[in-house]
């Protein structure tokens, strides 16, 4: 009876130690995540092997696992930048990004978990200042937003992809100009539209006048040709033909042949 407590105590201690070791060694990586293994008594961060995937893993209790989200993420950023003529412009943009899965160990080793603040945001801000500085407020307000968005994306992508980060896209959601500049641009655009509308009406009127002139000229030419082709003989034949048609009418009439001045028949009578 005295031996049981002596034997049971080491077993209990061993079980407790095993539980502690397992709890220290067990790592569960969630959905959309990956783990970077750090070996304390070896070469540190493991960069020559793929990161630990989703699920349950056992590692040595003296090692550590750093968990990263590897799904696509989105960051919103408001920036104040200068246009080509030095005016303050507020740019609202968002970026879609994710760490390069196969280079996750190098990302952790060279940059660390705070790579968003260390790399992505400063790069986006720098690219936005560089790109927006090439354009005037008028261009930013009207026709160049898509071009600005594409240029910021390309300049940012060139840098972050060398830092083990994948950049999917950058969206320029809003460009805010100073109120006085915005109003001036809107007035200018309105005047330009009115001018274009006036020019359109003017061109349309000129085309209509030209069409009418050509139509009138065509009618005049047709009449001239017709007049030149009508001889006295043709007129007499047409007159006789018309007289014969009228004589067949049921209305009472008297036809006198050859009584008119030009020799055409005369038709006398009442309807």
Instruction: At 204, give phi and psi (nearest 5°).
Output: -65, -45
Q: Write out pLDDT tens, residues 39-86.
A: 988 889 999 999 999 998 888 888 899 999 999 999 999 988 888 877
pLDDT band at 128, cuts 50/70/90?
A: very high
Residue 38 has pLDDT above 80, yes or no: yes
CATH of domain 73-182: 3.30.479.30
Q: Collapse the DSSP code of 173 into the 3-class scheme (helix H, G, I; strand E, B; otherwise coil) and give the result.
A: strand
Every domain range in the chain assigned CATH 3.30.479.30:
73-182
As a whole number, mean pLDDT of residues 150-171 equals 94
Query: Could you tell me which residue, 125 or 266, shows the higher pLDDT?
Result: 125
pLDDT band at 1, cuts 50/70/90?
A: very low
Q: What angle do CA 63, 68, 72 make, to 5 degrees?
A: 165
Q: Which of 158, 133, 132 is nearest to 145 (CA)?
A: 132
pLDDT band at 119, cuts 50/70/90?
A: very high
Give yes or no for a contact between 34 and 68, defined as CB atoms under 8 angstroms apart.
yes
- DSSP letters, 107-145, are HHHHT-TTHIIIIIHHHHHHHHHHHHTTS-HHHHHTT-H
For the record, the structure tokens of 221 come out as 């030419």
Per-residue buried b or exposed e for 182-202, using 16+ beta carbons within 10 Å of the residue's own CB: eeebeeeeeeeeeeeeeeeee
Query: Could you tell me which residue, 104 or 255, shows the higher pLDDT?
Result: 104
Length of the chain: 271
* CA distances, 266 to each of 77, 231, 232, 239, 270 (Å): 99, 20, 17, 10, 13
Q: Write out pLDDT tens, residues 87-104.
A: 888 889 999 999 999 999
Residue 191 has pLDDT above 70, yes or no: no
Q: Collapse the DSSP code of 185 into the 3-class scheme (helix H, G, I; strand E, B; otherwise coil) and give the result.
A: helix
Give yes or no for a contact between 149 and 157, defined as CB atoms under 8 angstroms apart.
no
């Amino acid at each position: 009876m005295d031996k049981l407590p002596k034997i049971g105590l080491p077993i209990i201690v061993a079980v407790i130690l095993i539980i502690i070791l397992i709890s220290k060694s067990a790592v569960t990586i969630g959905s959309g995540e990956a783990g970077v293994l750090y070996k304390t008594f070896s070469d540190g961060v493991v960069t020559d092997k793929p990161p630990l995937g989703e699920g349950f893993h056992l590692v040595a209790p003296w090692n550590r696992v750093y968990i990263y989200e590897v799904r696509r993420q989105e960051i919103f950023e408001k920036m104040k930048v200068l246009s080509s003529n030095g005016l303050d412009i507020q740019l609202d943009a968002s970026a879609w990004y994710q760490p390069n899965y196969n280079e996750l160990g190098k990302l952790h080793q060279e940059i660390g978990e705070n790579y968003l603040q260390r790399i992505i945001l400063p790069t986006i801000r720098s690219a936005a200042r560089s790109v927006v500085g090439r354009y005037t407020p008028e261009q930013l307000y009207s026709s160049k937003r898509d071009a600005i968005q594409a240029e910021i994306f390309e300049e940012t992508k060139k840098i972050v992809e060398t830092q083990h980060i994948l950049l999917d896209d950058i969206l320029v959601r809003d460009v805010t100009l100073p109120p006085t500049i915005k109003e001036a641009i809107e007035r200018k655009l309105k005047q330009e539209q009115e001018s274009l509308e006036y020019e359109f009406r003017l061109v349309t009127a000129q085309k209509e006048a030209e069409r009418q002139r050509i139509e009138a000229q065509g009618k005049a030419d047709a009449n001239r040709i017709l007049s030149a082709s009508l001889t006295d003989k043709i007129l007499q034949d047409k007159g006789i033909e018309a007289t014969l048609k009228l004589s067949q009418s049921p209305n009472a009439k008297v036809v006198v042949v050859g009584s008119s001045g030009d020799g055409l028949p005369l038709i006398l009578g009442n309807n």
